[in-house]
Structure 1
Amino acid sequence: MSGPRPGRRGAGGRGAGGRGAGGRGRSTRPPRDRDPVRLAALSVLRAVRVEDGYTNLVLPAVLAQHELSGRDAAFVTELAAGTIRRQGTYDAILAACIDRPLRKVESKVLDALRLGTHQLLGMRVPAHAAISTTVDLVRAKVSPGAAGFTNAVLRKVSARDLTGWLAEVAPEDATDHLGHLAVVHSHPRWVVERLEQALDGVGAAEEVGDLLAADNRAPRVTLVARPGLAERDELPGEPTPYSPFGTVLGTGGDPGAVPAVVQGRAGVQDEGSQLVAVALAQAPVDGRDERWVDLCAGPGGKAALLAALAAERGAHLVGAELHDHRAKLVARAARASKGAVGLAGVVQTDSTHAPFADDSIDRVLLDAPCTGLGALRRRPEARWRRTVADLEDLVALQRALLAEAVRVVRPGGALLYATCSPVLEETAQVVSAALADTPGVRLDDVRPVLGEVPDADGPLPGTVQLWPHRHSTDAMFLALLRKD
């Protein structure tokens, strides 16, 4: 594992405290002044833990607060996001180095220990710098006693590399296959089990290690050119292999420096999400093609692309969203993209009781609320927040939403059900229940409308399942339903 080399104020610069926690000549200035880089990373971990923040949303605000950019910003991003991704692995290692349960370690100290462990085992930071800077941070933010404890623990961690530690804390054991994978790849055991079952549903259970490893690789930034507003050729990066509208930026690419993004004619959107909009827009319909609805439109990325596609045909999209702040994001995305020409409006509503007449909508997108276990590359904290109870609640919601989507789509129209999760309870089982419960509803083949997307057969005939390790996308599930 490796990460960006620390910048001017990183492990090798003036934030290193390079003579160790107790060495002579150590500056008397507080770590806030000396090491804003690691202080920023610690702030991200706290916001994610205490405020239920999302790493990718918390980072920009923290970087701005500490006035960090360039190499320093890259270092903070890798340190914070990498620590959260590998938290399960690092906790197993820390547990082997501490003589009490981790739950009895003060939360602020545990955050710092995880940061230090990631520097030691997952980044190219010299051991003395990783230890001394973490100790300084704990001394300033907690207490001298906690700093001494931190020093002792991290010195134990530094005695081995990651491979050596995994051999001790997660030896291969045929009797506990799931437990081994959970520690090695830093996923909760129940998540490993569900992802393996999802792969087994497409005949590829042996790929679970590859999928888990892909979840721990930070994704590259993907852009989308909104049709009628921007051309893909004007966006930097390599064309996406499957979406006709996307490009993939190289490492370190800044979407904020792309004129079309700044002007709202393009946006940042995973290729898998682009393909959801493409699939609905390209699905053939019989007769009228004027009224499109996105039943769960927040935060607005798919709605903005669909609105642009609708506008090209003289159709209009209505975005429906339950939560006020997400409904506002949909409206903002449409305004920013100037795609409002294809957006008839945003309705704040509970889409389990959608305000649309029976058989009235030509195209319906139901990108259902889900566990998000297909987007762990971008939302690493989701793996530690979601529970089996959450899954059960979400499945009930998904079934209710799909029943309502079936009600409003007209015969001859197109209904696309999508989730950012490959978990079978949220994909095949929800769709199968809808087919069983509703006479006259059938499953159509969505694959032809997407063109050549290899190795993407879903768990039900005609469905599509994308994968991070196969397609470098989020693990989007797509099913096209028709009503006779």
Structure 2
Amino acid sequence: MSTVAGARQVAYDTIRAVHESDAYANLLLPTSIGRAGLSTSDAALATELTYGTLRRQGTYDAVISIAADRGIPEIDPAVLDALRLGVHQLLSTRVASHAAVNESVELARSAGGRGAAGFSNAVLRRVSRDTPGDWMTRIAENARSDDEKLGLLFSHPVWIVRAFRRALAAEGRADELEALLTADNAAPRVTMVALPGLADVPEDSRATPFSPVGFRLGGGDPESVIRESDGRVRVQDEGSQLAALALTRALPVRPGERWLDLCAGPGGKTALLAAEALAHGAALEANEISPSRAGLVRRALEGVPLDVPVSEQDGRTRAAEAPGTYDRILVDAPCTGLGALRRRPEARWRKAPGDVPELTELQRELLHAAVVALKPGGVVAYVTCSPHLAETSGVVADVRREWGAALEELSARDVVTAISDADPGLSPQADGSGRAQLWPHRHNTDAMSITLLRRV
């Protein structure tokens, strides 16, 4: 097997695991690349093929359905993944058509035998006869509505397209919908953080535009930089950095403050909070209900010389057991993750509208419990990696109604703008709140929502 064929095999196996076993591509792919012993260039190819295929899956399924003249459910799943991988190479890469067809047919043969190979060969050769533009026109003509057309062309489920439109419209930016959908299908650049007071930004790197502790490497392997720093430099999206810093810098820190990271896994924001706590003489505690994720939190904290206890409880119980205790609490709430579709492309196919009500109920309960655990004058940062209005402004509005005058909102937009190295241009929300909403297409970050509430 050639090295290029090995890269395709790794991509195919990862895609199969995502669909067959609900694996996470960002966790499985690096391990698979290591086991296969791929070179740097072949590892890059495997990564592009995997993420590109998963991101554009909705579009490719529409193309395959037309080319095969049958519905997607009628195609064997293992063969379908080989077809998706082939169509991605044909329509979105510079891979030679004959190589894309032949290698994908061999993957289908391995998955389904001679009949699957013949079927795949016919489908892919039909796809290869027309240009990507021709196929986009064809699938657009088959759409039953404008929203479905956007969903097919930009490979997003229709319900997500509509949720994004409403969230953008809340800022008067509904006309940016296609730009947002396009950004979701682009590979994100690797952004890193140097824990303040513990690590310096490398000299050959470039500072990120907004976070004062973020940077992007000028070159080299991020993993080697992380190892050499003893964990004090790490990969972290700039939006996540700003979310943690919004809590620590919303108000001046008084020595002796007690902080809590209520939903801490996997620990990136916890490490940044710990560095900030160390610098200002505050104490930090963390909580994560999942034992495996709690282990990741402890690992993330290894580079910070601060004793941070990590409990493993339901966040609602953990906060309720400590009323009036904390000066600052981060509620990085479990959410749909619609703001991180660039980095977790399979998430768009795993979530459904029916997931939102259950999540928003949990989010409300976590935020309410966090307010109970605040001291008078204490601040909670309610953060979601989702712009969905039900998960952001809806949850906050419900909790504020419940607490009435006992809970006031600080302007997260003003706080984020004040700590940023450049003006992020955060837009006011239609509901009049101070919520800060970051966007992939405007800020090159995850679509992070940040709200700051102070207990009066």
Instruction: Name the TM-score, length of structure 1 as normaliser.
Output: 0.89
Distance 1:287 1:36, change over 3 A: closer
Per-residue deviation, residues 101-127 of structure 1 (Å, max 9, x unmatched): 111111110000000000000100111
What is residue 9 of structure 1 aligned with on the other side? Answer: 3
User: CA shift at 1:237, angstroms?
Assistant: 2.8
C-alpha displacement of 1:288: 5.9
Residues 45 and 172 (structure 1), Cα distance of their counterparts in 2 relative to 1, 3 Å cut: closer
> Partner of 1:57 in structure 2?
27
Higher mean Cα deviation, 417-426 or 44-53?
44-53
Give distance in 2, aligned partners of 1:244 and 1:220.
18
Q: Determine the structure 1 residue equivalent to 2:215.
A: 247
Question: Could you tell me which residue of structure 1 aligns to residue 266 of structure 2?
Answer: 299
Match of 1:469 among 437, 441, 447: 441
The corresponding residue for 2:123 is: 153
Question: Quick check: 1:270 aligned with 2:264?
Answer: no
* 2:308 aligned counterpart, secondary structure: strand
Q: Deviations for 1:272-311, whole angstroms, at most 9, x for unmatched residues? A: 0000111111011586652010000000000001001100
Please say if 1:446 is aligned against 2:418. Answer: no
Aligned to 1:284: 251
SS of aligned partner of 1:121: helix
Question: What is the alpha-carbon distance in structure 1 between the residues aligned to residue 411 and residue 227 of structure 2?
Answer: 34
Amino acid at match of 2:315: S
Q: In structure 2, how many angstroms separate the alpha carbons of the residues matched to 1:441 and 1:69?
A: 55
Whole-angstrom CA distance in 1 between matches of 2:220 and 2:84: 28
| 1:314-354 Cα deviation digits (max 9, x unpaired) | 1121111111111111011101x2x1x33421011101112
Tell me if 1:45 matches 2:45: no
Look up the equivalent residue of 2:70 and give its one-letter code.
R
Structure 1 window deviating more from structure 2 (434-443 vs 84-93): it is: 434-443
* Aligned with 1:371 (options 309, 328, 336): 336
Whole-angstrom CA distance in 1 between matches of 2:347 and 2:281: 39
In 2, Cα distance between the equivalents of 1:300 and 1:272?
Answer: 15
1:406-442 deviation line (CA, Å, top 9, x unaligned): 1011111211111000000000010011110113111
Which residue does the alignment assign to 2:310? 346
Instruction: Determine helix, strand or coil for the equivalent of 1:284.
Output: coil
Match of 2:223 in 1: 256
Structure-to-structure mapping, 1:38-437, within 5 angstroms: 38-171=8-141, 176-232=145-201, 234=202, 236-249=204-217, 253-258=220-225, 263-284=230-251, 289-335=256-302, 337=303, 339=304, 341-355=305-319, 356-437=321-402
Task: Indicate the SS of the match to 2:309.
Answer: strand
Distance 1:308 1:97, change over 3 A: same
What is the CA-CA distance between 1:223 and the residue it aligns to? 0.7
- More moved, 438-447 vs 353-362: 353-362
Cα offset for 1:448?
Answer: 2.8
Q: Distance in 1 between matches of 2:45 and 2:408?
A: 50
Is residue 2:453 matched to residue 1:481? yes
Say if 2:426 is the partner of 1:456.
yes
Distance 2:380 2:322 in 1: 15
SS at match of 2:172: coil
| Cα distance in 1 between the residues matched to 2:142 and 2:423 | 35
**Cα deviation code 1:48-91 (max 9, x no counterpart):** 11221111111111101211131100000000110000000000
SS at match of 2:371: helix
Amino acid aligned to 1:380:
P
> Does the 8 A contact of 1:398 with 1:426 survive in 2?
yes
From the superposition, tell whether residues 421 and 253 of structure 1 become closer, same or farther in structure 2 (CA, over 3 Å). Answer: farther
| Aligned amino acid, residue 328 of structure 1 | G
CA contact 2:254–2:280 (8 Å) conserved in 1: no
Contact kept? 1:371, 1:386, Cα under 8 Å: yes
Deviations, residues 353-408 of structure 1 (Å, cap 9, x unaligned): 12542111011101100000000000000000001111111001000000001101
Change beyond 3 A, Cα 1:71–1:279: same
The 8 Å contact of residues 333 and 382 in structure 2, kept in 1 or not, is answered as yes
Distance (Å, rounded) in 2 between the aligned partners of 1:458 and 1:481? 17
Task: Judge conservation of contact 1:419–1:427 (CA < 8 Å) in 2.
Answer: yes
1:252-283 Cα offsets, whole Å, 9 max, x none, are 75211215665211110000000011111101
Q: For 1:210 and 1:374, how far apart are their aligned partners in 2?
A: 14
Secondary structure in structure 2 of the residue aligned to 1:438: helix
CA distance in 2, matches of 1:314, 1:287: 8
Classify the secondary structure of the residue corresponding to 1:79: helix
Distance 1:274 1:237, change over 3 A: same
* Counterparts of 1:463 and 1:257, CA distance in 2: 37
What is the CA–CA distance in structure 2 between the aligned matches of 1:142 and 1:177, rounded to whole Å?
37
Distance 1:181 1:253 in 2: 38
User: Which structure shows the higher helix fraction?
Assistant: 2
Rounded to whole Å, the distance in 2 between the matches of 1:292 and 1:235 is 32
Q: Once the two structures are superposed, what CA deviation does each residue of 1:431-458 show, in whole Å capped at 9, x if it has no partner?
A: 0111101131111112232224333235
AA in 2 matched with 1:225:
A
1:171, distance to aligned residue in structure 2 (A): 3.6
The alpha carbon displacement at 1:236 in A equals 4.5
Segments of structure 1 that go 5 or more residues without pairing to the other structure are 1-7, 11-34
